[in-house]
Structure 1
Amino acid sequence: MGMGIDGLTSGLDTTAIINALMGAEAIPQTLMKKTVANDTYLLTALQALNTKFASLFTQAAALAKPDGLAMYQASSSSPAITVTAAAGARPIALDVNVTQLAQAHAVVTAPQTAWPTSPAVLTFVKTDGTKVEVNADSDSLDAIAFAVNKSDAGVSAVKVASGTDASGAALYRLQFTATETGAAGAFKVYQGSAAEVDAGTAPSLTAAPGAAVLRTGQDAQVTLWAGTAAEQTISSKSNTFTAISPGIDITVNQLTTTPAVVSVIRDTAQVTAAAKDLTANVNIILGSIFTQSTVSGGGAAGSAVTSGLFTSNSTTAAAKDRLFTAVVSPVNGKSLSTIGINSTKNGDLVFDEKVFAAAYAKEPALVESTLAAISQRVADAAKAVSDPRDGTLSQSVKGKQTVINDLNAQILKWDDRLAQRRGALQSIYTNLEVQLGKMQSQQNWLTSQIGSLDAGSSKK
């Protein structure tokens, strides 16, 4: 690329000329840049809309599942029992008496300054006869507690201060507690090895004077339908009874003298909220497409008409129609206005909570099946639009992104082309100035020669 000599000889503004020529040369690239900018705005809007459809699909598909609307409220007539309803729960009223709470087995040794043998050896015998031998590093009670706690005996050990002996030496006990509640966690503990236990030569720690069984491991127990021919006792190793009825867990925390009523009823408020939220999210999408498809301006003479991003966009128009139809079409021949979902002349939806709640209170199963059918249709419509692989809007987003990427690649190529063209123009005009300069020098020389000839002739 040559160096520009801007008007040095010719007096021309060569930089301005070159810039004007380059402006004309760059018109195709400028048009592509404008197209990329417009398409990028549209792409961003399409991506946002696609995200809304994908979220709607997730919400609607969840409600359309067999237990998607199994929303229940659990309660107990007594503070002795707490109730939790999960998936699979169904309405029920169950009479429950708490007759026994679960507790962990616990024993404490006699007070002592150190273990009688060194290093200490203990053996725990579980209710099923399993033996776990624990070997400590020394006769230290701390060492014994450490060894027990890291073993797989299922027992925790703690050293407890117990005063002093006659000589003033500090006394301590070891308390052993099962790590889990329930009868299966009960144990016996012996001083000695497992072999000595089998031989009957290992003394029981709880048989020593001052030792004691603090609590015997036991299961929690509840009685159902007490006082009837169907009376039944159920046990649990913890105070929580899992799936006492499908999807229903109860936790007991105190004994009862009279039966408590465990109830599970349909949660009208929660189901109503689910229907309202689904309708609202459908409205958000319908409103978004409508707003971005609206043509504005043109009201006053000479005023410009502005099209929305989705104006004349067949993909978004079809998506809007499909979603609206999915909601407002009758279910089993019945209008959705019977459950409080109404369409308006503006093409959106209105949800009447009172009508829905009243219909749900009267015929809950029918309303649930109707709402599930609507949810399935909405899920199908949203998936057809937003499915990452086959969705119409997803495909449109991919196509628009491909166009933008292709245009950006062409714009980059145009940068190189225009840079080369500018260099060529600068070289041409630089050479022009140089040639004009040479011609000007020749002209000046010829002029001086002619002047010299004229001067000589006049002297003669």
Structure 2
Amino acid sequence: MTNAIDGLVSGLDTTTLINSLMTVEAQPQALLKASVAKSQTLISALQGLNGQVAALATLATTTAKPTSLDLYSSTSSSPTVTTALSPGAAAGQLDVVVGALARNQVGVSAAMTAWPATPAVLTIVANGVSTEISAASTSLDDMATAVNAAGTGVTATKVASGVDAGGTAQFRLQFTGNSTGAANAFTVYQGTKAEVTAATAPNLLTATGAAVIRTAGDASVTLWAGTAATQTITSGTNTFSNLLPGVAITVSAESTAPVTIKVARDDAQISSVASGLVSSLNGIFATISTQTVVTNSTNAAGAAVMSPGVFTGNSSVRDVSQKLLSAASSPINGHSPSEYGISITKTGTMEFDAAKFATALAKDPTTVKAAVQEIATRVAAAATAVSDKYTGQLTGQITGQQTSVKNMSTRIDAWDVSLATRRATLQSTYTALEVSLSALKAQSTWLTAQVAGLPSSSTSTTG
């Protein structure tokens, strides 16, 4: 609250005067606020850089793993045989003849109008397990519902099947195995488990008018067909795992001619991994460079102004750049990474020469892959030391800046209290001055009036 009485007596603009005095008084606080803003800008930039370095550490750690560059691609000479690779794949070739596809079992009961016995009970034997199933009624809908809820791996469906001699609609129950393979064959009996054990329960799928539409069967492929080494491999599904190390094949049609499967080292993927590591490094170098550059401009008066970047003069950031660059470009067993297409440029960044890398990889894949993993190992160590969330070099600088900002903020808050007290004191002083001047003016006016009211006297002289 302002208690000043602006210029009522003195004519002074006391509010403006106080504000001017307070601006001078607040200069130390203004400097603190400017320092806080500068530190917060630096913290934000450091956090961004730290995030990039942490991402590089993760990428490099993955690349440094022993199998990270064991990358292969596979092809098939027929679209009816597809391949999928998994860790452990290796180069190789194999011819297969697809003899059969995996089948699930399908069977239908004889035509009926309702379940032929009360209570409505059947037993399904699948995978050596007998499951007795009771329906809510003799309705075929209820029977299908009960089968489907039993979880035996068999699904029941009511299918229309004309009318009987009396004109009543008839239906069949179709039983379908949910999984393929000979091991998933099943039998459906009319009756309880005890009756099945006693061999008194009729087989619903072999009864008069019933049928097994499709038997359960395994898929099969033949290797080295027509030779003395011919071998047939079976699978309960249409997928065969590890016919070649780390390679699964899936068949979708029978064949008479061999289908050729090839697995070869994928040089393009290996090159992409190496290129990605270099790109991640260059992203960090670009960030540091951009935020270190000094910008030249002019102010409103036309004078030259130089604006330093947020990292300008920051020795810690400069050290981070040097450590990463050294880790990526130092010799490996006496050989420069440039021999493999990974080199340092005149501007202090990295360069990846895809053509040179491909040539070196084709000539000596073992040495080139080992070189990439060595570079990745060194970069991972350097990047982790910089970005570790507890002991990282950048982490420590960020924490230090945050502590500094916290301390300065506390001092700024203290200045708020001090400045508020100072303003109140000035307002009180100038208000008291106006009051005192007002009292003096009133006294002066009274005295003037008193003097003016005194009787005038004259002295005459006679001679």
Q: Same fold (TM over 0.5)?
A: yes
Q: Deviations over 1:40-93 (max 9, x none)?
A: 221111111111111111111111112211221111122231101122211111
1:424 aligns with 2:425: yes
The equivalent of 1:247 in structure 2 is 246
- Alignment CA distance shift 1:298-1:138 (3 Å): closer
Match for 2:70: what amino acid? A
When structure 1 is superposed on structure 2, of 24-33 and 227-236 the one drifting more is: 227-236
Q: Secondary structure at the match of 1:41?
A: helix
When structure 1 is superposed on structure 2, of 25-34 and 412-421 the one drifting more is: 412-421
Match for 2:290: what amino acid? T
Residue 72 of structure 2 contacts residue 89 of structure 2 at CA under 8 Å; is this kept in 1? yes
Q: Deviations over 1:384-441 (max 9, x none)?
A: 1111111101111121122222222322232222222212211221122112212221
The equivalent of 1:232 in structure 2 is 231
The equivalent of 2:103 in structure 1 is 103
Match for 2:115: what amino acid? W
Normalising by structure 2, report the TM-score.
0.94
| 1:369 to partner: Cα distance | 1.1
1:314 aligns with 2:315: yes
Match for 1:67: what amino acid? T
Q: Secondary structure at the match of 2:366?
A: helix
| 1:116 to partner: Cα distance | 0.5
- Tell me how far apart the structure 2 counterparts of residues 117 and 449 of structure 1 sit (CA, whole Å): 136
**What are the ranges of 5 or more consecutive residues in structure 1 without an aligned counterpart?**
none
- Alignment CA distance shift 1:89-1:459 (3 Å): farther
For 1:164-243, list aligned pairs within 5 A: 164-243=163-242
For 1:74-93, list aligned pairs within 5 A: 74-93=74-93
For 1:4-403, list aligned pairs within 5 A: 4-128=4-128, 130-297=129-296, 303-403=304-404
Q: CA RMSD in A?
A: 2.0
- Tell me how far apart the structure 1 counterparts of residues 2 and 266 of structure 2 sit (CA, whole Å): 83
- Alignment CA distance shift 1:229-1:61 (3 Å): farther
User: Identity of aligned pairs, percent?
Assistant: 48
Q: Secondary structure at the match of 1:235?
A: strand
- Tell me how far apart the structure 2 counterparts of residues 386 and 203 of structure 1 sit (CA, whole Å): 74
The equivalent of 2:409 in structure 1 is 408
Match for 2:262: what amino acid? S
Match for 2:220: what amino acid? Q
Residue 2 of structure 1 contacts residue 430 of structure 1 at CA under 8 Å; is this kept in 2? no
Q: Deviations over 1:352-390 (max 9, x none)?
A: 111111111222222111111111111111111111111
Aligned length: 456
Residue 7 of structure 2 contacts residue 434 of structure 2 at CA under 8 Å; is this kept in 1? yes
**What are the ranges of 5 or more consecutive residues in structure 2 without an aligned counterpart?**
none
Match for 1:211: what amino acid? A
| 1:99 to partner: Cα distance | 2.1
Residue 206 of structure 2 contacts residue 212 of structure 2 at CA under 8 Å; is this kept in 1? no
- Tell me how far apart the structure 2 counterparts of residues 166 and 34 of structure 1 sit (CA, whole Å): 100
- Alignment CA distance shift 1:332-1:227 (3 Å): farther
- Alignment CA distance shift 1:212-1:10 (3 Å): same
| 1:444 to partner: Cα distance | 1.5
- Alignment CA distance shift 1:250-1:431 (3 Å): same
- Tell me how far apart the structure 2 counterparts of residues 68 and 367 of structure 1 sit (CA, whole Å): 13
Match for 1:210: what amino acid? G
1:442 aligns with 2:437: no
Residue 386 of structure 1 contacts residue 393 of structure 1 at CA under 8 Å; is this kept in 2? yes
- Tell me how far apart the structure 2 counterparts of residues 43 and 97 of structure 1 sit (CA, whole Å): 65
- Tell me how far apart the structure 2 counterparts of residues 114 and 196 of structure 1 sit (CA, whole Å): 21
Residue 75 of structure 2 contacts residue 263 of structure 2 at CA under 8 Å; is this kept in 1? yes
When structure 1 is superposed on structure 2, of 387-396 and 418-427 the one drifting more is: 418-427
Q: Secondary structure at the match of 2:453?
A: helix
Q: Secondary structure at the match of 2:141?
A: helix
- Tell me how far apart the structure 1 counterparts of residues 118 and 405 of structure 2 sit (CA, whole Å): 82
- Tell me how far apart the structure 2 counterparts of residues 322 and 193 of structure 1 sit (CA, whole Å): 78
